Structure formats: structure tokens, C-alpha cells
Amino acid sequence: MPEGQIVRAVGGFYYVRTPDGDVQCRARGIFKKRKFSPLVGDRVTFEWTANGEGVVTQVEPRKTELVRPPIANVEQAVVVCSLNEPRFQPELLDRFLVHCEHEGLEILIVLTKLDLLEDPNGLRQIRAMYDPAGYRIVATSIKTGEGIEVVREELTGRLSVFAGQSGVGKSSLLNRLYPDLELQTGAISRKLGRGRHTTRHVELLDLPEGGQVADTPGFSQLAFQHMEPVDLSDCFPEMRLRAPDCRFRGCLHKNEPDCRVREAAENGEIAPSRHRHYLQFLEEISEQRRY
């Protein structure tokens, strides 16, 4: 039977890319009975129907799976934040990073609108926050072209999904990288300080150099409903590295004695803001578990 990759899903139809072109498919009814839905990014087998369309019959095992946005087999999350308009928000960035770490994705932080940066020390301060975690950071400007080629190299050969609040320039960045994509962009609301979502469904875009980018409506769920308190520090790489040296196994790095993580935050090995956000997220998880 023919095989391919789902590259778009709209209105109950799955568009499967094959060497001979895209095939519009429905999913076999057994998927609904099993409460299992094919996702964009899935490698699938399908059968031809009389009208020249297809029916998805089998989905290959997934390497990764995201719920919001619904997409499978993503390898890399490109977390996009603007340096201005809207302003850089480290707490929001840390939320995105935790969710991407929890899904086991490689992570690239892309800072946009470098040409609008007002504080010359701003970029250095951001790097000081995230360098201890080992994150790759690229500062970019679609106006000057700075950082664009570095991002292009990081996207090549991978299936990447872009994450970040609306208005930070995700679609604009992709349009600068690959003008033929012609992705729709939205204006920034001055009242709200953020942009409007311009993508309505998930779609995989093939890149000229190899690899794919998922154009999605964004990460619509940034709460921590499915995370346990003891799992949270694993989503902070600089804490994950030091946690084995804490006195107590399962240390939550709050007020336990001989906590290596808290000690590192106090002496500057870990950015204080990162530990502060960790404690904030930990409290949110604890509150959710009470209800």
C-alpha cells in the first residue's frame, strides 16, 4: 500500500505527501473507535478510493507528540521572543521552555527585532540568564538580516515547530528566511501589546535546504496540568544537572537543607529569575493538584 507523511489537516481531511504529490485522505473509522487521531507529521499508510482520494489505514509509531498544537514527530522547538514590541518576557519564555523540555525536544531560542533593542546591555543580560542552561540563542533582525543565516542552518534537516506569543515575528522571520512561503502576518495591537494569530491550522512546510517547519496557530496551552512537582526541575537543564548533588532525593529546591540547586541560584551559577520562575511554576502545579 502507498505511504506518505501527513503535511496538513483541515476539516477532517488529511493531506498525505507522497513522491507523486499530495493525496487528500480521510481516516479509517477504526481510529475514531480507538479514540486515536492521525496528526500532521505522522508517517502513514493509506488505501486509494474510487474517487482518486485515499483512506489512512495505519500510523507509524511516533517519536514525539504535541497536543497543542497537534503535531507528531517534531524534533526541534524554535522558541521565538521579541526584544521589543512586544517587550521581552522571561517568565513567558520559561513557560515555553518547560513545555518543550517536557516533550523532549531540542530547543533553539531565537530573539527577534534586534534593530528595536533600546538597552545595549539587554542582549548580554538575556544570554547571562540562559547560557547556564546550555540553550542555543540567536539574535535576529529581519530588517538588517542579522542572524538570519544562522537560523537557516539550525532549521536544515530537522522537523521544527515555532513557539512563542503572537506578535513576536514568527511568520515574519520565516518569510525573511523563505520568501516563497508568503505566510500571513498580523499587526501588533498597541493596546494589548501583542499580535493576533494569523495561522488557523497546522501545516508542514518543506524547506529548500532540506527539513520542514510546522506553521501552527501556536502553543495554546501553557499550564502544567499533566506535570508532577518532582518532574519540574528536570525541565530546567541547569537544575537537572545539579539536582543529584542535593542531600535529599526528590528535593524540590524550595527550602530543603543542603540543596545544591538553591545554592547555585544564590551564588549566581543559576540565574535567580530562572529559580524564581521555577518556584512560581511549582506553586501552580501544587495548586492544580489540590482541585
Query: pLDDT for 198-241, tens place per residue?
Result: 445 788 999 988 999 987 766 655 678 788 999 999 999 999 99
Both 181 and 114 in a single domain? Answer: yes
Both 27 and 107 in a single domain? Answer: no
Known binding residue 195? Answer is no
Asked, for residue 223, whether it belongs to a domain, the answer is no
Both 284 and 211 in a single domain? Answer: no
Q: Provide the β-strand partners of residue 56.
A: 27, 46
Known binding residue 164? Answer is yes
| The amino acid at 251 | C
Both 86 and 208 in a single domain? Answer: yes
Contacts 24+ apart (CB under 8 A), 229-235: 229/282, 229/285, 229/286, 229/289, 231/102, 232/98, 232/278, 232/281, 232/282, 232/285, 233/261, 233/278, 234/101, 235/97, 235/98, 235/99, 235/101, 235/102
Question: Which of 61, 79, 101 represents a domain boundary (last residue)?
Answer: 61
Both 163 and 278 in a single domain? Answer: no
Asked, for residue 160, whether it belongs to a domain, the answer is yes
Q: What spatial distance separates the first Cα and last Cα of the chain, rounded to whole Å? A: 48
Both 182 and 134 in a single domain? Answer: yes
Question: Which of 34, 61, 88 represents a domain boundary (last residue)?
Answer: 61
Known binding residue 259? Answer is yes
Both 43 and 94 in a single domain? Answer: no
Known binding residue 261? Answer is no
Known binding residue 169? Answer is yes
Q: What does the radius of gyration of the chain's CA atoms come to, in whole angstroms? A: 21
Known binding residue 63? Answer is no
Known binding residue 165? Answer is yes
* Range scoring the smallest mean pLDDT among 10-24, 187-201, 251-265: 187-201
Looking at residue 67, what is its pLDDT? 80
Known binding residue 29? Answer is no
pLDDT bracket for residue 171 (50, 70, 90): confident
Alpha-carbon distance of 188 to 190, in angstroms, equals 6
CATH number, domain of 199, equals 3.40.50.300
CATH number, domain of 25, equals 2.40.50.140
Both 200 and 161 in a single domain? Answer: yes
Asked, for residue 261, whether it belongs to a domain, the answer is yes
Both 120 and 93 in a single domain? Answer: yes
Does residue 264 contact residue 160 with C-beta atoms inside 8 Å? Answer: no
Known binding residue 115? Answer is yes
pLDDT bracket for residue 74 (50, 70, 90): very high
Both 18 and 94 in a single domain? Answer: no
Both 57 and 77 in a single domain? Answer: no
pTM of the entire structure?
Answer: 0.87
The domain of 119 spans: 71-215
In this structure, how many other beta carbons lie within 10 angstroms of the beta carbon of residue 265?
A: 23
Q: What is the per-residue pLDDT across 91-142, written as a single tens digit (0 to 9) for each?
A: 999 999 999 999 899 999 999 999 999 888 999 999 999 999 999 999 999 9
Known binding residue 114? Answer is yes
Number of domains in the chain: 3
Known binding residue 251? Answer is yes
